[in-house]
Amino acid sequence: MQLTSLVSFVALATVVSAVPAKERVGTIIPLTKRSTLVDQDGVVNIKSLRNQILRASSKLNRGFAAFEKNTGSFHPNDVRNITKRATGADPLTDDQEALWQGAISVGTPAKTFTVDFDTGSSDLFLPASNCAVNCAGHTLWTTGASSTSRNAGRSFSLAFGDGSTVSGTVFSDTVTVAGLTATSQAVGAATRYSTGFAKAEFPPDGLMGMAFPQISEFGANPVFQTLVAQGKTTVSEFAFKLATSGSELFLGGVNNNLFTGAFTQNRVTAVGFWQIALGSANVNGTPRVTGGQAIVDTGTTLLLGPQNAVTQFYAAIPGARDATNTVGSGFFTFPCNSLPPLSLTLGGRAFPISAASFNLGQLSAGSTTCVGGVAAVDFDNMWILGDVFLENVYTVFNTATQQVGFATLR
């Protein structure tokens, strides 16, 4: 496949390294994470792994299509039909599909919901009170019970690569995240969830996108950009810590207690997704793959890359094998107890990927072979930096300067 070039939407991949952190006063959303990627014996859930690739691929397709609808132009990395004021922080948890979730409230009077916070999409949707399919067990949004709810008069439908869909009607309402309140915010009231969003498969109630408005299916500002535009936060940054404990989303700056040293800033190269330049993917300190683009996505578990690049990466790991016949297309295995140092170079700085993050679990009970967290997809020159990478760094996103910064976790 060839990637379409669009100069007007591509900035030079300039990098500002070693930028000192500034003191911020922010608001915190605690995040939690729950995953079924492995069972009680540490064996990988192959179905969940395959769904991760399908969801990530379809997310890019949806984003590219929304970009074209909103701007009248192709996204510069559009790959069609991919098959493979105050500030605040919010604690996060991980749901069954290994996404990060926390609490928000919607409406007047306010009602609390749990949502996945997803930097790979831009819209907020919740299950509506008249949802007739697969919404049982979720907290439902009754638009008529909110005095600030308004029907926007248009429908929406989101399709996911694993067959999951969400459809309904777009409304506007008041949305509060960690004490920061956005008014007249676009919110999708879903009248239909597919099985992939049923409570057993998708524990949170809905999803809140945190990318740019250019890829909004609703053609509207995401919640954080609304907060900035309405002056509810004076700092156009939000930051994530994604780890086994103490995870959080910080709105309106950074939490200086969660990282050490300076940020390495990476300029967004195509506004839509949080897309930056990738320097290299390294094994044992040596670059094995150089160049390319990367989307920073809290809504993807794996670290995904082009087939040829990922194959080259694993070729440098002793004992690594193609796992197409055992796990699925794009996956590789490696000896569980023998893994060289791994890292990604972003903005001229190498950031390690821990063995604990990279090792998704045993291939079978008692096996000495494990499944690697870097997987191949049918992208040309495009990587997706999901949890396998992000749980090793503290990450800040700046909507005004259009940069993504990485720092060392404390």
pLDDT tens sequence across 85-96: 344 556 654 433
Instruction: Map residue 43 onto helix, strand or coil.
Output: strand
pLDDT band at 320, cuts 50/70/90?
A: very high
- Compute the mean pLDDT over every residue in the chain, rounded to the nearest whole number: 87
SS (H, E, C) 294-334: EEECCCCCCEEEEHHHHHHHHHCCCCCEECCCCCCCCCEEE
| Better-predicted residue by pLDDT, 318 or 100 | 318
| Better-predicted residue by pLDDT, 349 or 58 | 349
When pLDDT is averaged across residues 251-263 and rounded to a whole number, the result is: 96
C-alpha to C-alpha distance for 176 and 295, rounded to whole angstroms: 27
> What pLDDT score was predicted for residue 197?
86
When pLDDT is averaged across residues 205-231 and rounded to a whole number, the result is: 96
**Residue 241 contacts residue 254 (beta carbons within 8 Å):** no
> What pLDDT score was predicted for residue 95?
36
> What pLDDT score was predicted for residue 180?
95
CA 263 to chain centre: 20
User: Nearest Cα to 134, choosing from 200, 57, 53, 178?
Assistant: 200
pLDDT band at 162, cuts 50/70/90?
A: low
> What pLDDT score was predicted for residue 70?
86
pLDDT band at 335, cuts 50/70/90?
A: very high
pLDDT band at 17, cuts 50/70/90?
A: very low
Alpha carbons within 13 angstroms on the beta-carbon side of residue 60 total 30
Instruction: Map residue 41 onto helix, strand or coil.
Output: coil
> What pLDDT score was predicted for residue 145?
98
Question: Quick count: other Cβ atoms within 10 Å of Cβ 371?
Answer: 27
Point out the least confidently predicted range of 55-59, 93-97, 358-362. Answer: 93-97
pLDDT band at 7, cuts 50/70/90?
A: very low
User: What residues have CB less than 8 Å from 291, skipping those under 6 apart?
Assistant: 277, 278, 279, 280, 381
DSSP 322-384: E-TTTT-TT-EEEETT----EEEEETTEEEEE-HHHHEEEESSTT-SEEEESEEEES-SSEEE
The one-letter amino acid code at 203 reads: P
Give the highest mean pLDDT range of 71-80, 141-150, 156-165, 192-201. Answer: 141-150
When pLDDT is averaged across residues 244-257 and rounded to a whole number, the result is: 93
> What pLDDT score was predicted for residue 16?
38
**Residue 95 contacts residue 203 (beta carbons within 8 Å):** yes
User: Nearest Cα to 146, choosing from 163, 126, 167?
Assistant: 126
- Decide: residue 40, CB within 10 A, 0-12 exposed, 13-18 middle, 19+ buried: exposed
Give pLDDT tens digits for 35-48.
Answer: 557 787 788 888 88
Question: Quick count: other Cβ atoms within 10 Å of Cβ 87?
Answer: 26
CA 380 to chain centre: 20
> What pLDDT score was predicted for residue 332?
98
> What pLDDT score was predicted for residue 158?
87
Question: Is the confidence at residue 308, as pLDDT, over 70?
Answer: yes
Does the bond joining 335 to the residue before it have cis omega, within 30 degrees of 0?
A: no
pTM (predicted TM-score): 0.87
| Better-predicted residue by pLDDT, 20 or 198 | 198
* Cβ-count burial 166-196 (b if 16+ within 10 Å, e if not): bbbbbbbbbbbbbbbebeebbbbbbbbbbeb
Question: Is the confidence at residue 280, as pLDDT, over 90?
Answer: yes
Point out the least confidently predicted range of 11-20, 345-354, 369-378. Answer: 11-20
Catalytic sites, residue numbers: 118, 297
Question: Is the confidence at residue 148, as pLDDT, over 90?
Answer: yes
CA 164 to chain centre: 17
When pLDDT is averaged across residues 124-147 and rounded to a whole number, the result is: 97
Angle at 163 between CA 159 and CA 169, to 5 degrees: 35
Question: Is the confidence at residue 338, as pLDDT, over 70?
Answer: yes
Question: Is the confidence at residue 12, as pLDDT, over 70?
Answer: no
Structure tokens at 61: 């397709």
> What pLDDT score was predicted for residue 81?
43
Question: Is the confidence at residue 383, as pLDDT, over 60?
Answer: yes
CA 214 to chain centre: 16
Question: Is the confidence at residue 386, as pLDDT, over 90?
Answer: yes
C-alpha to C-alpha distance for 99 and 106, rounded to whole angstroms: 21
> What pLDDT score was predicted for residue 270?
95
